[in-house]
């Protein structure tokens, strides 16, 4: 019995021991690889069960596990880890951030970096490499078709011509509708500096050269990434400077590495004209079938029938342009200090003879961690940009006006006479071959942009940051008109020289106290953000000098001029603000951010009390609750509200005395100093024509936005959906008032405009293997713009005064900038009413809307394929709608140069209904001559622009890129040449559009005007091909 008891006890003890041996207590600490800090709230589960625990505020955990089990460690934005327990009783884990879950860090306002999941508003990002691959020298134009809600239009294909960017539609009537441009957290100037003579009452953007927007000074090769803050919520921290959003460029910096890293890249690009109007080459200069030098029209003799020569002046004029870019960068450093130095050049010759642009950049960036508490750094960039540009648009010396009107029987290459004067086919026009070479516009800009910062870590919670930035440039330009050129002010061929100088300075600084503190059970809550203030000062000074009546050909010196004039201007402004941006984060799932900025601006006068701009946004990452499924990888909903402002331009709070100019629309106007009978000039001043309100306020842009972001199947499919409505109210306009008041206009806050729309971004990876990957990105956006209010009694507001018709107007219920003019009269059935006496349409007596220059929607599709060391990508760009006034096509019809005008020896019957007489209401049967049909119907007869309103829709293959990377260091780590990358690229090689003119991506008024949709002898766009090589050492 005793023996049996002992055996039974042994068996029981063995079983108990075995049971206890099957469970093991495991402890450990979970930290982050990035900073080595413990991570609270990490889920620690026994694989295959629901048994688990979480790490405490110190990242520690304790769990009892059966023998042979595995533990799974998981936490939001970190890659999960599975570890077999084995015989271990302590398991310490280091988690690594999952970049796909984190969706990368986004640079937001004031250069603050945030996790994309924490942001409650829409932000689009573009890689710096994509700017380089675009083949564009302008970092604004390089953004075209790269993101939703972004409209980019280049004014022409001339080297350095400005590019206009609009985010989610226009938000102001008289101010600048373009976003703020920020480089490394510091705003920079992106202006287009048209300098008018003080005695010139006209807008000189309709004629002359296409100037550069100053973002042209930034080298695309220096850009690391771009963040596009499209709504007012995104840019609220910048206040009045970013009422239209902000585009934030982050430049490349040095990296800690062994030794120095050297990169050299070089490319050669060759450009051709993209698209031109089609011209007839049969009929020569003259009228009624006979030659005449007294007209510029081509209704003369039939050159082919008469056996006379014709000349391809278009083909003889345009040439192959070339762009050569070279960049060298050196970077290096250790864990304390890093640096990067870069030198770059871009040398561009255009498709128009003598047009060119050269840009030279030197950039130095350094960052240093002085100790555990202090980090300093800074960047200095110097740029020299010089260019030579031809005139365009409505200019007697403009190359396109005279070139396209040039008769087929005139050889434009014979452009100079024996005495050095020009030879032209019409006395009032310059020969474009002569003008391109002898009427140059030259410009040189020297610019320095720099910034420096100090970050002081005060404690584990607080960091004090100070940043200061400077943007300074001097621009000098000269426009010469050779003796015999008709482009001078008097159009008399006596020669002229214009010179102007611009000095711009801006100083920006901010002082921010940043904080980050976790609290609550298991540190479930985190409060982070910043409080502080910033200061911004700028000055803009110009001078203009002119000499008329030159005595010596080719001697463009004021000493050789018989009449001299000079004017100058100066503008100063500053703003200061206090601000706060605070985010409450719950377990990296819910983020609530509140922002406030109170700003004082000198543009409101010395007694301004300042204005407050609030913003709130909420982000909820609901995929955090869906851990046990594999379909939804990431899901977030977001909401944002904001109310930001746009300040008036300087010097609008008072009425000043000015030098009056009386214009008649035909001459250059009359102004002071006005000469008396003895030729002695007398000065004169008059009170300004505008009286401002004593209660000016900032224009307000109030935005509501909601969005959904989701990724599926291990991030293989993604969608980003945004709905927004932005209402701009208290818009400043100059309201006409009764002349009895002593003024013409009353400047005050009164108007309202609304933009609402949808943006959809789709991403997909249809194929993904170890060697091959196919990625697709689809962007689509639609914005509806409506003018809601104008001043009482005001039915329309002119958006610039460019042409008598069509005109760009803001009218209640219509889109901003709608094009208005005189249309054909129509009956109730929309049939054109025909004058029975002439057979031509009747013209309405009042103007009506002829077109909307704003696109109906924008879209683009990018496909990218990578196979081992090869990569291939192509980008399709789509634009639906957007009416342009094809004034070029209309005028070419009127002058008998369009391809349509070749069919002139026949009669035409214009479809319509007879307006009056015995056949009233019946279909028109009156035939008219070919000449009348072409000049008065297609050409508008100087009365209507209806037929010249054409769709600017397009389908274009914007870019095709192929690259091969030879990774030499893979097989030989000690080789001095680490890699060599070869590239081929094509740009704008395919374009399908119903537009009958140049490439419809064009703008007569450049990027500085709010009126868009004008094409009147615009310089053409380009298409190109390029080769490149990049070597890393």
The predicted structure's pLDDT at residue 105: 77
The full set of domains in the chain, from first to last, is 20-97 (2.60.40.1120), 105-113+117-653+696-817+852-882+952-1032 (2.40.170.20), 825-845+886-942 (no CATH)
Query: Angle at the Cα of 593 (from 589 to 596), degrees rounded to 5?
Result: 175
For the cut 60, the answer to whether the pLDDT of residue 493 exceeds it is yes
Q: How many CB atoms lie within 10 A of CB 341?
A: 15
Give residue-wise pLDDT tens across range 541-565.
999 999 999 999 999 999 999 999 9
DSSP state of 137: S
Q: Quote the CA–CA distance of 702 and 300 in Å, as a whole number.
A: 59
Q: Quote the CA–CA distance of 944 and 842 in Å, as a whole number.
A: 10
What pTM value is reported for the model?
0.87
The predicted structure's pLDDT at residue 667: 61
Q: Quote the CA–CA distance of 723 and 117 in Å, as a whole number.
A: 18
Give residue-wise pLDDT tens across range 86-110.
888 899 999 887 655 444 678 888 8
Helix, strand, coil percent content, the chain, rounded in steps of 5 = 10, 50, 40
How long, in residues, is the chain?
Answer: 1033
- Name, in order, each residue with C-beta under 8 angstroms of 935's C-beta and a sequence gap of 6 or more: 893, 894, 896, 941
Give residue-wise pLDDT tens across range 634-645.
999 999 999 998
Query: What's the rounded mean pLDDT across residues 205-212?
Result: 80
The pair of structure tokens assigned to 526 is: 């985190």
Report whether 331 contacts 338 (CB < 8 A).
yes
The predicted structure's pLDDT at residue 660: 78
Give residue-wise pLDDT tens across range 967-1017.
888 888 888 899 999 999 999 999 999 999 999 999 888 888 899 999 999
Q: Is 869 strand, coil or helix?
A: coil
Give residue-wise pLDDT tens across range 949-978.
999 999 999 999 999 999 888 888 888 899
Give residue-wise pLDDT tens across range 282-291.
999 999 999 9
The predicted structure's pLDDT at residue 48: 80
The full DSSP string for 953-997 is: -EEEEEEEEEEEEEEGGGT-TT-S--EEEEEEEEEEEEEE-S--S
Query: What's the rounded mean pLDDT across residues 157-184?
Result: 91
Phi, psi of 487 (to 5 degrees): -85, -10
Could you give the maximum distance between any two Cα atoms of the chain, in Å? 148
For the cut 80, the answer to whether the pLDDT of residue 519 exceeds it is yes
The predicted structure's pLDDT at residue 864: 96
Query: What's the rounded mean pLDDT across residues 356-360?
Result: 97
Query: What's the rounded mean pLDDT across residues 681-701?
Result: 88
The mean of the pLDDT values for the chain is: 90
Query: What's the rounded mean pLDDT across residues 742-757?
Result: 93
For the cut 80, the answer to whether the pLDDT of residue 340 exceeds it is yes
- Percent of the chain past pLDDT 70, that is, above it, reads 95
The pair of structure tokens assigned to 820 is: 């208005």
Query: What's the rounded mean pLDDT across residues 140-162?
Result: 90
Query: What's the rounded mean pLDDT across residues 898-926?
Result: 95
The pair of structure tokens assigned to 302 is: 């039939």
The predicted structure's pLDDT at residue 909: 97
- pLDDT category at 119 given cuts 50, 70, 90 is very high
The predicted structure's pLDDT at residue 442: 95
Q: Quote the CA–CA distance of 321 and 390 in Å, as a whole number.
A: 14
Q: Quote the CA–CA distance of 847 and 229 in Å, as a whole number.
A: 38
723 beta partners: 706, 758
The predicted structure's pLDDT at residue 77: 65
For the cut 90, the answer to whether the pLDDT of residue 39 exceeds it is no
Query: What's the rounded mean pLDDT across residues 712-727?
Result: 95
Query: What's the rounded mean pLDDT across residues 709-738?
Result: 93
For the cut 60, the answer to whether the pLDDT of residue 12 exceeds it is no
Return the C-alpha torsion angle 112, 113, 118, 120, nearest 10: 50
Cα atoms in the 13 Å half-sphere on the side-chain side of 87: 0
The predicted structure's pLDDT at residue 15: 39
The predicted structure's pLDDT at residue 6: 40
The predicted structure's pLDDT at residue 199: 81
Taking CA atoms, 464 is separated from 182, 250, 371, 374, 513, in Å, by 21, 21, 15, 10, 5
- Percent of the chain past pLDDT 90, that is, above it, reads 70
For the cut 80, the answer to whether the pLDDT of residue 628 exceeds it is no
The predicted structure's pLDDT at residue 19: 39
The predicted structure's pLDDT at residue 364: 97
Give residue-wise pLDDT tens across range 830-886.
999 999 999 999 999 999 999 999 999 999 999 999 999 999 999 999 999 999 999
Query: What's the rounded mean pLDDT across residues 32-46?
Result: 79
- pLDDT category at 22 given cuts 50, 70, 90 is low
Report whether 190 contacts 215 (CB < 8 A).
yes
The full DSSP string for 218-270 is: S-GGGEEEEEEE-STTTTGGGGGGGTT-EEEEEE------SS-EEEEEEEEEE
48: left (phi over 0), alpha (psi -120 to 50) or beta: left
């Amino acid at each position: 019995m005793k023996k049996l008891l002992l055996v039974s006890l042994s068996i029981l003890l063995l079983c108990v021991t075995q049971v206890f041996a099957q469970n093991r207590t495991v402890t450990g600490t979970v930290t982050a690889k990035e900073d080595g800090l413990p991570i609270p709230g990490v889920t620690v589960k026994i694989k295959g069960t629901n048994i688990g625990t979480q790490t405490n505020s110190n990242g520690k955990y304790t769990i009892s596990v059966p023998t042979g089990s595995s533990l799974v460690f998981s936490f939001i934005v970190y890659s999960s880890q599975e570890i077999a327990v084995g015989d271990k009783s302590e398991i310490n884990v280091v988690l690594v951030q999952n970049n796909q879950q984190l969706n990368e860090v986004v640079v937001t306002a004031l250069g603050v970096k945030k996790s994309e999941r924490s942001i409650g508003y829409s932000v689009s990002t573009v890689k710096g490499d994509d700017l380089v691959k675009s083949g564009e020298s302008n970092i604004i134009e390089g953004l075209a078709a790269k993101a939703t809600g972004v409209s980019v239009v280049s004014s022409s294909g001339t080297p350095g011509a400005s590019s206009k960017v609009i985010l989610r539609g226009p938000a102001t009537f008289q101010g600048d509708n373009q976003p703020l441009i920020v480089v490394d957290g510091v705003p920079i100037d992106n202006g287009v500096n048209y300098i008018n003579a003080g005695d010139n009452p006209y807008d000189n953007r309709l004629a002359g050269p296409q100037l550069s927007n100053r973002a042209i000074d930034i080298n695309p090769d220096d850009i690391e990434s771009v963040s596009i803050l499209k709504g007012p919520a995104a840019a609220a921290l910048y206040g009045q400077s970013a009422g239209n959003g902000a585009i934030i460029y982050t430049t490349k910096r040095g990296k800690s590495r062994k030794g120095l890293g050297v990169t050299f890249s070089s490319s050669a690009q060759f450009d051709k004209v993209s698209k031109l109007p089609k011209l007839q080459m049969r009929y020569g200069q003259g009228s009624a079938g006979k030659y005449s030098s007294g007209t510029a029209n081509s209704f003369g003799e039939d050159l082919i029938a008469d056996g006379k020569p014709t000349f391809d002046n278009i083909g003889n004029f345009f040439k192959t342009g070339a762009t050569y870019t070279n960049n060298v960068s050196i970077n290096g450093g250790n864990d304390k200090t890093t640096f990067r130095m870069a030198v770059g050049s871009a040398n561009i010759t255009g498709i128009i003879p003598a047009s060119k642009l050269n840009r030279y950049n030197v950039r130095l960036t350094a960052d240093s961690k002085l100790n555990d508490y202090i980090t300093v750094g800074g960047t200095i960039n110097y740029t020299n940009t010089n260019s030579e540009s031809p005139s365009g648009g409505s200019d007697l010396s403009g190359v396109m006006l005279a070139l396209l009107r040039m008769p087929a029987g005139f050889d434009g290459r014979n452009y100079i006479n024996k005495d050095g004067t020009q030879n032209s086919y019409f006395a009032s026009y310059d020969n474009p071959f002569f003008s391109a070479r002898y009427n140059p516009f030259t410009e040189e800009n020297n610019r320095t942009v720099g910034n420096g910062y100090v970050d002081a870590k005060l404690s584990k919670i607080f960091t004090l940051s100070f940043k200061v930035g400077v943007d300074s440039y001097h621009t000098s330009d000269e426009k010469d008109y050779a003796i015999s050129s008709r482009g001078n002010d008097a159009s008399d061929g006596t020669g002229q020289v214009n010179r102007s100088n611009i000095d711009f300075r801006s100083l920006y600084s901010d002082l921010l106290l940043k904080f980050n503190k976790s609290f609550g059970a298991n540190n479930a809550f985190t409060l982070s953000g910043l409080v502080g203030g910033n200061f911004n000062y700028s000055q803009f000074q110009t001078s203009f000098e002119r000499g008329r009546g030159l005595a010596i050909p080719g001697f463009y010196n004021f000493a050789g001029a018989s009449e001299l004039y000079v004017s100058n201007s100066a503008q100063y402004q500053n703003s200061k603000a206090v601000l706060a941006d605070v985010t409450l984060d719950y377990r990296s799932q819910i983020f609530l951010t509140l922002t406030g900025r109170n700003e004082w601006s000198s543009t409101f006068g010395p007694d301004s009390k300042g204005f407050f701009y609030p913003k709130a946004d909420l982000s909820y990452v609901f995929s955090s609750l869906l851990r046990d499924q594999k379909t939804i990888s990431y899901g977030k909903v977001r909401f944002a509200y904001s109310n930001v402002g746009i300040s008036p331009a300087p010097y609008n709070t008072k009425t000043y005395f000015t030098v009056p100019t009386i214009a008649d629309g035909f001459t250059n106007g009359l102004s002071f100093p006005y000469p008396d009978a003895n030729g002695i000039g007398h000065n004169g001043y008059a009170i300004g024509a505008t009286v401002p309100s004593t209660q000016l306020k900032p224009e307000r842009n109030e935005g509501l936005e909601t969005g959904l972001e989701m990724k599926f199947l291990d991030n293989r499919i993604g969608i980003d959906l945004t709905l927004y409505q932005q209402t701009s109210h208290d818009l400043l306009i100059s309201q006409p008032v009764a002349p009895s008041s002593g003024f013409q206009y009353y400047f005050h806050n009164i108007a309202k405009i609304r933009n609402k729309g949808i943006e959809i971004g789709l991403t997909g990876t249809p194929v993904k293997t170890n060697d091959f990957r196919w990625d697709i990105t689809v962007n689509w956006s639609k914005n509806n713009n409506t003018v809601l209010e104008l001043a009482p009694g005001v039915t329309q507001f002119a958006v610039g005064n460019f042409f008598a018709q069509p005109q760009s107007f803001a009218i209640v219920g219509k889109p901003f900038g709608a094009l208005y003019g005189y249309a054909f009269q129509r009956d109730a059935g929309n049939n054109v009413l025909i004058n029975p006496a002439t057979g031509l349409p009747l013209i309405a007596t009042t103007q009506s809307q002829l077109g909307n220059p704003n696109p109906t929607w924008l879209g683009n599709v990018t496909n990218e394929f990578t196979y081992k060391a090869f990569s291939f990508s192509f980008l399709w760009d789509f634009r639906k709608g957007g009416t342009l006034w094809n004034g070029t096509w209309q005028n070419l019809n009127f002058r008998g140069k369009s391809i349509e005008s070749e069919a002139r020896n026949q009669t035409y019957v214009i479809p319509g209904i007879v307006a009056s007489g015995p056949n009233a209401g019946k279909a028109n049967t009156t035939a008219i001559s070919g000449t009348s049909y072409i000049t008065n119907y297609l050409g508008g007869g100087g009365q209507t622009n209806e037929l010249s309103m054409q769709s600017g829709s397009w389908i274009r293959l914007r870019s095709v890129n192929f690259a091969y990377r030879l990774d030499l260091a893979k097989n030989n780590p000690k080789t001095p040449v680490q890699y060599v990358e070869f590239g081929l690229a094509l740009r704008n090689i395919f374009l399908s559009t119903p537009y009958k003119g140049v490439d419809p991506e064009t703008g007569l008024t450049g990027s500085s005007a709010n009126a868009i949709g004008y094409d009147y002898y615009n310089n053409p766009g380009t298409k190109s091909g390029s080769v490149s090589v990049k070597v890393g050492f």
